Amino acid sequence: MSRDPLTPPDPGGPATPTPLVLAAARPGRIRDLALRASAAFRADPGGAERDVGRMLREARHLHSRERRFVADALYGLFRSDLTLGFLLARGGDDGRGGPEGLARWLGWLVLAEGLPPEDAAATWEREGHGGRPDFARFLRKDEEIAAWAEAAGASAAERLGVEASLPTWLAERLLEDHGEEGGRSLAAAMNHRAPLAVRANTARIDRDGLVARLAGEGVVALPCPLSRHGAILTSRVNAQGLQAYRDGLFWVQDEGSQLVAEAVAPPPGGLAVDACAGAGGKTLSLCASMGGGQVVALDTRGSALEELGRRARRAGAARLRAVRIAPHGPLPPEVARLAGRADRVLVDAPCSGSGVLRRNPGRRYALTSAELDAHPPRQLAILRRMAPLVAPGGRLVYATCSVLRAENQEVVDAFLAAEPGFALLPLAEILGPGPAGRVGDGRFLQVTPDVHGTDGFFAAVLARGKGRGAGET
């Protein structure tokens, strides 16, 4: 099987460069756009996705294939930023003789896309820049890092940070939570392009029907290995430009996110609350699963609920009610009236986003240790705020797109200690031992890019007893 030229190479070596990759190394519209985006990224890593999207929309001169190349290439460049900087500085010359970002761009093409080092050097010299970097060093990445680590007495986290382009503190957290082998595997997977997954709108079409419909539009889709209703688009397409999307037959949703919705397992005809709905991928999944049931979507951001409304109309989710809530304090009366009535309450809490770093490459550099430490108290507060909505015998589902224990198991432990009216309901009792074992340890949902091919997601199901519950006296 040939390698997709836009994904990272196999460890055995770089791929043969494509003509488009070679063209990107020379002056021109692709390279110039890459350098502008790279400069914007270095100024504001957290805004990388926004900046790339804006620049691509403005680059009307690019063909669709060029747009896809530039987007994927830039994401790869951003994911590798710390590693690229290390390799450039390793020889004492970081390319200061040329325009900012050019040395990194050329180095990334050598490292990940198979551009011969001599071609990168020729580009540098042809443009008259001084202080030429040693681009061959990018082919010796592993040896260079190993030599530095030994000479510097680098810790395991410091070395992993350079190898996987992660801040040292984040690499340390991954190693603490997942062990040496697991942490390294997870960090490596975060540097690969994520697949494009969609979820069939099962209120209108089943997955097999969707796959057939997409095939009719020339799109190859394969059933997701874990989600019952999902498919992976193997064709490189703009999913939202497809007629099947405009007809409301699917929405774009990572397979891990789909699994969270499956863990909620809302009863047909019941009442479910999505307490942190955002733009609503999980909300729509709940709507599609509940038949004649009702879903109430809550969020603090009006713009997110407006987007959810547009998506819900396309999907035909008529029994959905969206309510904007304040970040703190009492819930609005129309929500407070639901106390003790909801069969399911999903709290997909705001988190570090450590499970989606492959999709949001700038996040790894923008996230700080202090920000991460501030999340668990807020997550616990949101969980306790929403717990009174759960009916006796109902379930509260806590979820994050994090792979860190502090935001996951530790928050669940703190909640159960504070709310004795709830108890952990093992996922095996919902999905069955086999399926639950494939997506976690039988108790929790825990999926990661390296093991499952999904984004990193966590979910815990907390069942309320039939006596007094959270917030009752």
Q: Are residues 371 and 444 in the same domain?
A: yes
Label residue 235 by pLDDT band (50, 70, 90).
Answer: confident
Q: Are residues 318 and 459 in the same domain?
A: yes
Q: Are residues 338 and 376 in the same domain?
A: yes
Q: Are residues 135 and 260 in the same domain?
A: no
Q: Are residues 246 and 291 in the same domain?
A: no
Q: What pLDDT digit, counting tens, does each position of 38-58 carry?
A: 888 888 888 888 888 888 888
Q: Are residues 234 and 382 in the same domain?
A: no
Q: Does 161 map to a domain?
A: no
Higher pLDDT, 67 or 280: 280
Q: Are residues 402 and 262 in the same domain?
A: yes
Task: Please give the average per-residue pLDDT across 88-94, as a whole number.
Answer: 73
Q: Does 332 map to a domain?
A: yes
Active site residues: 401
Which spans in 290-368 are helix H? Answer: 302-315, 333-336, 363-366
Q: Which of 252, 280, 296 is the last residue of a domain?
A: 252
Q: Give the pLDDT confidence score for residue 100 in this predicted structure.
A: 65
Q: Give the rounded distance of the alpha carbon of 145 from its chain centre.
A: 27
Average pLDDT, the chain: 89
Q: Are residues 381 and 447 in the same domain?
A: yes
Cα–Cα distances (Å) from 66 to 6, 31, 72, in that order, read 12, 11, 10
Q: Give the pLDDT confidence score for residue 71 in this predicted structure.
A: 84
Cα–Cα distances (Å) from 158 to 86, 145, 167, 295, in that order, read 12, 10, 8, 46
What is the domain-level CATH number for residue 458? 3.40.50.150
Label residue 98 by pLDDT band (50, 70, 90).
Answer: low
The answer to whether residues 166 and 187 touch, using CB atoms and an 8 Å cutoff, is yes
The answer to whether residues 5 and 23 touch, using CB atoms and an 8 Å cutoff, is no
Q: Does 184 map to a domain?
A: no
For residue 469, pLDDT over 80 is answered with no
Q: Does 352 map to a domain?
A: yes
What is the domain-level CATH number for residue 245? 3.30.70.1170
Label residue 302 by pLDDT band (50, 70, 90).
Answer: very high
For residue 96, pLDDT over 70 is answered with no
Label residue 97 by pLDDT band (50, 70, 90).
Answer: low
Residues of the domain holding 208: 196-252
Residue 179 tokens, joined? 């062990």
Q: What pLDDT digit, counting tens, does each position of 341-357 carry?
A: 999 999 999 999 999 99
